[in-house]
Every structure is written in structure tokens, then in C-alpha cells.
Structure 1
Amino acid sequence: MAENSKKRCYTGSDYFREGELVFINYVKEQTSPHLHSHRFIEIAFVSSGEGFHIVGGQRYSVSRGDLIVINYEREHEFRSIPGKEPLWVYNCVFQPEFIDYSLINCSDFSDIAHHFLFRSLFPEELANQSDIRVTGKDSDNIEALYKKMLNEYSNMPKGYIEMLRAYTIELIVTIFRLYDNNGVLADKTSKTRREIIEKTMDYLKSNYQKDISLEHLSEISFLSPNYLCRIFKEATNKTFTEYIQSIRIGKACELLSTTDLTVLNIAYEVGYRDIKYFGKIFKKHVGCTPSMYRKKYKK
């Protein structure tokens, strides 16, 4: 959907009319590179032509029926192929709060998916998958919906913003149904959730010495922080903080009983920079001070 800028990050002010949080267009994609990102959600539908889409450093072919969700600050581009029928793409661009003001601090499609309107329909683990391919009747119905959105947006009849909001919600629910109609939604959700938890646990075990933020973990798992916290707690019965602490204290116990490192050095080795805080957390988990533990268990 971008114009002639390379790796530019677009904001709402580049597209939204004054006082609005939504933008609809129908565009012929160019053949030259125009990689870009944006600070809004884009749901694109390929209505005709042949070309490719680059997102997250990966390139794949697209054609009629491809429905693609692009989140905040994800570098991507659609490109037509010289000598082939050009790609024509509908774009629905919006800020999450356009759907509901309570989403004002949300920044990706998964946040919307977990919103109270949709959480019973669409597990968040699948919200971040960037490409949903539909064909036949589904393609026709989706294109008809985009045409109605474009007509409302272009002509601005009375109440058009409310109609656009309703159509955008209809589009999102249509995406949910496309997943559900595949008959594999539950299996994919369970498998994906398990993989996310295992990946997160492996990352924490390998990087426990570092200052790990929830924001960073949410970025590498492609889930919103609140949702990642919830499914991690459900799987491990521990919060992120509790899990990291258990890894660090376990390693500290090992070093106290098998090495001659000072307590201060051990605290630094397992990720603590405040010796008093380390002592407090150690006693909370083990029931005694690090020195007392060493005296009792030093081999």
C-alpha cells in the first residue's frame, strides 16, 4: 500500500483524514522496491494479479484470495511482477481504538483478537500469523465487503464512520471464521501455545543472567504482554518473575555448593546486581541466607 519510499515508517497522519482513525483504498502495486512499515494495523486483500509479498524478511507469492494482516512496525511490501498482470490490492488500515476506545494502547492484531468482542472466537496464538489464503466463494464475499467499505469511505454518506466500524468488525470476524472453518483451529492453537511456552522457557533458561523484560519476551513470541503472561502462568503455575527467580536461585545454590566464588560474585553470575536483594530473594526461596546454605551444603 506504500508509495515511493524505502523503509519508511508511516503513521496515521500519512493516511487518515482529520479526526478519523481508518483508511480504505484500492491500489495497483508497483514493481519497484518500496519496503516500509507503519504504526497502524493493515488488513490487505489481493483481488487480482500476480506478485509477491515480503514480510519479516521472507518472500512468498500472492494472488487473488490472499488476505494478509500486517501489524505495527512490521517491514513489508507487496510488489507486482514485471510482464505479469499487476497486483490489485484492497487495504483496510486502522488504529485499534477505531474498533473500541478501550483498545487505545493496543498495537497489534493479537490485542484486538483478545478483546472482549472476539476472545471467544479467536485464540491469540493464531492472531499473529500473517497470511490467510481464501478462495472461491470466500474471496467473492470478502471482495464485496471491501467494495462496500471503499464506497462508504469515498462517498462519506451520513453515518459512514459507524458503517466502516461495523464493516471492519465484520472483516475481523470473517477472518476468525476462516480459521474455524478449517476444522483444525483447536489443534493448531494447542500446538502453537505449547511451542510458544517451550520457546519462552528455553529462552529464559539460556538468558537468566540478563535483564529480561516482559516487553522483549512478548516481541520474540509475537504475543501481547498480558496474554503471554496469562498463558505462561497457566502452563507453569508461575509468573515470569517467579520462573526467572527459580532458575537464578537454583543456579546460585549449585555455585554455592560446588565453587569458592564469593556470594557477591555468585549474585552477579546469576543476574543480580543488588547483593541485598539477592539475599532477600534467596532466603525467600531457600529458607536461609546464601552463607548458611554454603556452610550446610558445600562439598
Structure 2
Amino acid sequence: MSGKKYQVLWADFAKLPRYWVIKNHAHQYYHLFYLLSGDAEFLINGNPFQAKSNDCLLFPPNVSHGVTENHTENGRLFEMKFIVYDQFITSQLHTDGIVLPHDGFVKTCIDCISRNWKIRGTQQILNVSSFLDALLLYIAQVHVPTDDVWDSRYVQTSQYDNITRRIISYIDNNYKSHITLDMIAKNFGYNKSYLCDVFKQNTGVTIVKYLQYVRIRMAAECLAYCGIKANLTARYMGFQNVSYFHRLFKKMVGITPRSFRDKFEISVDGSIGEYFATDNIFLRQEKSIGHALAALRRLGDVNKTIDIV
């Protein structure tokens, strides 16, 4: 099943004849309904919900659902059953039934899915998976309630506790600004020593070390892709002291900022662009902060082969 994110089990358009019902039930796959016209009363874990035209309802595995006889006669809906193999999507859509009121993006995705499903050629099946991917990502990021805790761009955070994930998210979003441990503690309403202990226990590194990682990691990306001078890059990444930036970059990457730019600036040599396209730390989410630090160190290996045949 490697690389496969979704498997559509069944999809179809249906009318709602008078007295037609779907008995309350649950199963091991996802079940999506999109009401094309009319009104219909759904059951979500036994609780009634009155859906209207252009409403979309998504039921994750093991969530009981059904449709009562209280619906507009000859109303129409699109129904889809599918399996999700993508761990990020399943982790975000583990709630009870998700109701999406009339939404233009959802409607566009459903229209594209249904049109491609009608034909079901090889390319159309791939299209269905792509549009379903867009729809579920949109649902996960816009419609599923969260505590404003999202996986980091740089590292996977599901193995960390909620406080640690919030600190990581805060640093990811504010690394260009002046940040101190006192500021982080005040932002989250916890004692500074407690936050430092929790973070170190969860990740194996200090909060300051993670802040340094994000700044140096982004500085390396800036040097490779933008060709900006090192001193300006330092200021842009939130460093108050340029000399400190140079020392820290060499310590964490293994070479100086200038040497890194001379070796890996993409605009200098086309093969370097191909190298980053083939194994790109700048697009990869590492398994942990420890893995991320190790990857950053490998990034500065001047002896690596970058010629792509």
C-alpha cells in the first residue's frame, strides 16, 4: 500500500424517494454525503441534524450515522465511501461527524470528484484521488476544531505532548522576531523552568536549541535559494549579533555561511538545483528534532556529490 493515500470503495448519485431511509450504522471506512438539492435529516451519533442543499457531511470510521424519512421528496445527493491511508489526514479527521455548511471550495471539489468518477478511466481515478486529497486537507485545516496546534513544517510533532507542540508552533511562527524564554513563558502562562524541563524531556534538546535550529535552517534555505549576503540573512532571521550568527551557522552546519552559499547557491550551477530537487531538506519534515539537527549538519557536507546524471 506504499504511496497510496486513498482508496475509493464506492460513489454514486442518488434520489431521496418518499419514506427512503438509511438506518443508523457505523463502519470502518469514511462516508461522505453532499446534498445536491432539497433538505434531509441526518443522524450523527444518534442526534438529528437538518442538512440543507449544498451541505456536506463527512463521517469518519466508527461514527454512527444515518438518514431519516424527514427529507425533501426526490432530493438529490452524492454519496462516497473511501479508505484513508494517510496518517496525517486520519489524525486530523478523528472527530465525530463533520458538517460543512455551503462552501464554494467544497462544492468545487465535489463537482470535480463526481465528474471524474462518472468516467472512471485510469487518469480520472487519479484525478479523483487528487481532488479528494485537496478536499480532506481543506476540511482538516479549516473545519476541524483544534487548539491551534499544527504539525511543524520542520519536524513531526505527534510524539510530543501538547505544551511542547505549542512551543514548537510558536517558534516556527515567530523565529524572525526577538524571542526570549521569559516571553515564551508569559505567552503560555507557565513557569519558565517548567516549560524548559518539559520541552527538554520531550525532545532531548532545549527550547533555545530548537530556536537556533529553525533560524539556521531557514538561513541556509535563504542562502541557497535567494543568494542574499550572510549579514543580511542574519538580520532577516532574527539574529541581533551578526558575528554570533556566523559562529552558530558553522557550528550547526559545519561550514561558514559564505562557504555554504558558494557551494550550494542554486543560481550558480544547475546541477545544485537538481540536487535539492532530488533530496531536499528544505521540503522534508524530519521525524524528530534530533533527526532535524543531524540533517542540518549533513547539509553542509562539502564533500557530498551533487552531480546528477
Shorter-chain TM-score: which interval?
Answer: 0.3 to 0.5
Query: TM-score, length-normalised on structure 2?
Result: 0.41
TM-score (norm 1): 0.42
